[in-house]
Amino acid sequence: MAQAATVHLNSPPAAERETIRGLLDLSSPGDLEALFGRAFRLKEQTVGREIYLRGIVEFSNICEKDCSYCGIRRSNTDLERFQMPPDEIVAASLRAYRGGFKSILLQSGERTDPEFIGLVERVVRRLKEETDDGIGITLSLGEQNHDTYRRWFGAGAHRYLLRIETSSPRLYGTFHPADHDYAFRRRCLASLRRIGYQVGSGMLIGLPGQTTADLAADALFLREIDVDMIGMGPYIPHRQTPLAEKVLNYSPAKQLELGLKMIAVCRILMPDINIAAATSLQTLSPEGWRRGIRAGANVVMPNFTPARYRAAYSLYEGKPAAENETDSLGALESLFTGLTEKIVPDAWGDSPRFFRRNQLRDAPNHESCESSRINIIIRKSA
Ligand code: 5AD
C-alpha cells in the first residue's frame, strides 16, 4: 500500500536536514520516480523546458594541489602533463562557439603563478574580442586570490565554478592535504560573489565515509550561500590516487542513483538556479545526462578539449578520452529525443537566480525569496 508523506521544508535546520536525508535514502523505484518527477515538474515551472549548453575546454592538467580523489593531483607522476598554448585554447573555444555552444567553460588544474594568471586573462580577453562579446565565459580554475578573480572578471569572464567538494570541514580535511584550507575556499566563494560573478559550487557525491546526512548538509550549504548554479557529480575512483584504496563495494549504479537524488533534492531546495548534469554522470551510464535532466538538471556540458589532450585530463577512471557522441548539436538532440525539454543553442543560459537576487536586493522591503517555501509530497511505499 502506498501512503502519502508530506515533507515540509523550511522547518528548523536539524529537521530540514533530516527530511532531506530521508529523501536521499529513498530507494524503491516508485519513491525515486516520485522524487525525480517532483523535481522535474518544479524545474519546468521555474527555469522552464530548456536545456542550456556549455562547451568545456580543459586546457591544462598541471596542478599545484594534491586532492586524494583526483587523478591529476600533483603527486601522480604517472601522467603526461600538458598546457595548451593560448592559440589552441582560443581555437577550441571558437570551435564550440561556432558550433552553437555560445557559452564555454574553461577548466584546468590549479596554478596561481603570474604567468598562468596572465595567460587566462589574455585568452578571455581575446575570446570576447574575437566574438564581439558574443561568447559567455565560465571559469573553473580553482582557488585564487581576490585580485586574480577581479582581473579575470575584468577581462570578461562572468561566471565561476568552484566546488566546495564537501561542506563538512571534517571530511574536507580528510580528502585534502594540509596545504588546503576550508576557510580559504569559503572566502574564495565570497570573493567571487562580491566581484559580481554568477557563482557555482557543488560537491563530490558518494565519497568513502560520506553519509547521506553529510550530503543533506551539503545541499543546505549550497542554499545557504545562495549559489547561482551547481556543478556536482558522483565520485568515480581513480587507480592512481590514495582514496581509491579506501573504496569498498563500489557500485556505479548506486553512485549514479545518488547523483540523481542529489540533483532532485537541490532542485527542490533551489528551484530557480542552473544545475548541471555532470560529465561523471554520463560516464557512469550512457543515460546519465538524460536521467539527470529527468531528475531536475537543466545544463549539460559537452567536451571540446582537442582529442589528443583528453586522455591526460583524467580526473577519474573512464572519463571519455575519445571525441564522443555528445559534442555536436545534432548528437545532443538525439540523446534527448523524446523529452519534453529542448536544447537551446546560441544562448548563454544564465542563471535566473542571479538576476532575481539582484532584483530582490534592489526592491524595497524584501525579506527573502520564496525559493525554499515548498512542501514536497511524495508517495512512500509501505
Ligand atoms: N571523481 C569524480 N569527480 C572528480 N573530480 C576530481 N576527481 C574526481 C573523481 N575521482 C572533480 C572535482 C573537481 C572537478 C574539476 O572534478 O569535484 O572540482
Return per-residue pLDDT of the chain as tens, 382 residues: 333 344 555 567 788 999 999 999 999 999 999 999 999 999 999 999 999 999 999 999 999 999 999 999 999 999 999 999 999 999 999 999 999 999 999 999 999 999 999 999 999 999 999 999 999 999 999 999 999 999 999 999 999 999 999 999 999 999 999 989 999 999 999 999 999 999 999 999 999 999 999 999 999 999 999 999 999 999 999 999 999 999 999 999 999 999 999 999 999 999 999 999 999 999 999 999 999 999 999 999 999 999 999 999 999 998 887 766 677 898 899 899 999 999 998 899 999 999 989 887 776 654 433 344 334 444 444 3
What is the number of the ligand 1 atom nearest to the C-alpha of 280?
2
Please tell me the distance between residue 316's alpha carbon and the centre of ligand 1 in angstroms: 7
Residue nearest to atom 18 of ligand 1 (CA): 163
Please tell me the distance between residue 374's alpha carbon and the centre of ligand 1 in angstroms: 31
H/E segment holding residue 104: strand 103-108
- 3-state DSSP call for residue 175? helix
Residue 224 CB: number of other CB atoms within 10 A?
11
What is the number of the ligand 1 atom nearest to the C-alpha of 234?
2
Q: What is the pLDDT of residue 364?
A: 60
pTM value surpassing 0.85: yes
- How far is 366 from 354, CA to CA, in rounded Å? 16
- How far is 53 from 103, CA to CA, in rounded Å? 7
Kind of pairing between the strands at 198-201 and 229-234? parallel
Pocket test for ligand 1, best of 70, 160, 232 (most atoms within 8 A of CB): 70
Please tell me the distance between residue 111's alpha carbon and the centre of ligand 1 in angstroms: 17
Please tell me the distance between residue 315's alpha carbon and the centre of ligand 1 in angstroms: 6
Q: Is the Cβ–Cβ distance between 323 and 304 less than 8 Å?
A: no
Read out DSSP for 352-372?
HHHHHHHHHHHSTT----STT
- How far is 130 from 123, CA to CA, in rounded Å? 10
Q: What is the pLDDT of residue 2?
A: 37
Pocket test for ligand 1, best of 67, 69, 201 (most atoms within 8 A of CB): 69
Please tell me the distance between residue 130's alpha carbon and the centre of ligand 1 in angstroms: 31
Residue nearest to atom 13 of ligand 1 (CA): 163
DSSP 69: T
Residue nearest to atom 6 of ligand 1 (CA): 70
Please tell me the distance between residue 344's alpha carbon and the centre of ligand 1 in angstroms: 27
Joined grid coordinates for residue 121:
586573462
Pocket test for ligand 1, best of 180, 316, 317, 319 (most atoms within 8 A of CB): 316
Joined grid coordinates for residue 165:
567538494
Please tell me the distance between residue 301's alpha carbon and the centre of ligand 1 in angstroms: 15
How many C-alpha atoms does 51 have within 13 Å on its Cβ side?
Answer: 26
Q: What is the pLDDT of residue 324?
A: 67
Q: What is the pLDDT of residue 320?
A: 83
Ligand 1 pocket, CB under 6 A:
69-70, 163, 165, 204, 233, 235-236, 238, 280, 315-316
Pocket test for ligand 1, best of 315, 316, 317, 319 (most atoms within 8 A of CB): 315
Please tell me the distance between residue 362's alpha carbon and the centre of ligand 1 in angstroms: 37
Q: Is the Cβ–Cβ distance between 236 and 255 less than 8 Å?
A: yes
Q: Whose CA is closest to 223, among 170, 174, 164, 169?
A: 164
Q: Whose CA is closest to 206, among 281, 259, 159?
A: 259
- How far is 270 from 297, CA to CA, in rounded Å? 11
Please tell me the distance between residue 169's alpha carbon and the centre of ligand 1 in angstroms: 18
Q: What is the pLDDT of residue 10?
A: 58
What is the number of the ligand 1 atom nearest to the C-alpha of 315?
7
Residue nearest to atom 3 of ligand 1 (CA): 235
Please tell me the distance between residue 60's alpha carbon and the centre of ligand 1 in angstroms: 15
